[in-house]
Amino acid sequence: MSEFWRLKNYAVSLFKYRRHHEGLNREEERWKFHRPTPISELGETGFLSILPLIDWHSSDPGFKTEMGVSYLVKTDHLTVLFDVGQNTHAEDPSPLLHNMAKLGVDLAGVDAIVISHRHYDHTGGHAWSRKKTFSLGNRQFDLSQKKIIVPSPLSYPNANPAVAVDAIRLAPGVATTGIIGRQLFIGWVDEQALAVNVRNKGIVLIVGCGHQTLSRLIQRTKDMFGKPIYGIFGGLHYPIPKGRVNWFGINTQRRFASGSGIFSPVKWKEMESDLDLLRKEKVQVSGLSGHDSSDDVIQHFKNYFGPSYKDILVGRQIDV
């Protein structure tokens, strides 16, 4: 390698390192000073089901799996498509559409689309994410009659997605949490979760990746809704000891998208600390996504929650 390229790569690395640390300061400032308006009249639902349409593990080999997330969330008053997977190989139909067809899920029955954050494994792939949009497959379907809630400005043909900087109530008992910002080594991310208030139980959180950190997500939920947290399902991002993605021998899920930097990835003791927090908050039920947490961590959660743990498997509905 020539001296020029050595100097250029060093300068790029130095710039990224400096930008990362500036972002960490921005993250702390925003968390300290941004105080969203609480939702005092959230309401409730007597019924909640979560049907994994895309995730890492499956209940049947006939379903397609990938390192992405999409859940169909149903309550008494609303049906939500939460995230739209990755479509890693630009298949037609996409894994999401294939699984929807196999499960008899009709897009016409979906009232709202909620995107947790703008990473490609939640927006339908790199191509759509780069264009600051999302898609269920290789072409964008007509969603003009549906509510679309996004965490940062995203466009969609003939639609006007609402950016949920603060929490948005979607139906009785159903709301977004509003965004929580996080500086990762791969860049800044704004992420929101879905909060469902189940009658006689409390809030159930449906989470895309958990980049906002569990402690901040729980604190935001308590501040916004003033109700106990009954359960949490989805991605909490524990790629420990390693994640699902390797690039030139580097485990990118752990090194680039977790912890406080490339040299300080999330550790087992931090996951244990989060479990202690769930215990303190008396969270009763949980299910962990395999798209961003290792099988070792999933088994640890299963041991902790026992019979109340629910496996997140494509095609297997979770009823709360």
CATH code, domain carrying 134: 3.60.15.10
Answer yes or no: is pLDDT of 8 > 50: no
- If you average pLDDT over residues 85-97, what whole number do you get? 97
Answer yes or no: is pLDDT of 12 > 50: no
Residue 33 DSSP symbol: H
Q: What is the pTM of this model?
A: 0.92
Give the length of the chain: 320
Q: What is the pLDDT of residue 11?
A: 42
Q: What is the pLDDT of residue 180?
A: 95
Indicate whether 16 belongs to any domain: no
CA atoms within 13 A on the CB side of 310: 21
Indicate whether 299 belongs to any domain: yes
Indicate whether 7 belongs to any domain: no
CA distance 94 to 54: 10
Return the minimum-mean-pLDDT range out of 17-26, 76-85, 257-266: 17-26
More confident residue, 81 or 262: 81
Q: Which amino acid is at 8?
A: K
Indicate whether 24 belongs to any domain: no
Q: What is the pLDDT of residue 6?
A: 40
Indicate whether 2 belongs to any domain: no
CA distance 100 to 143: 16
Indicate whether 171 belongs to any domain: yes
Query: Can you say whether the dihedral through the CA atoms of 170, 222, 28, 192 is positive or negative?
Result: negative
Indicate whether 144 belongs to any domain: yes
Answer yes or no: is pLDDT of 155 > 70: yes
- If you average pLDDT over residues 98-104, what whole number do you get? 98
Q: Which residues pair with 196 in a beta bridge?
A: 174, 204
Q: What is the pLDDT of residues 159-204, one digit of tens each?
A: 999 999 999 999 999 999 999 999 998 899 999 999 999 999 999 9
- If you average pLDDT over residues 235-240, what whole number do you get? 96
Indicate whether 59 belongs to any domain: yes
**Count of structural domains, the chain:** 1
Q: What is the pLDDT of residue 10?
A: 36
Q: Which residues pair with 234 in a beta bridge?
A: 207, 288
CA distance 250 to 203: 37
Q: Range of 234's domain?
A: 34-319
How far, in whole angstroms, is CA 198 from its chain's centroid? 20
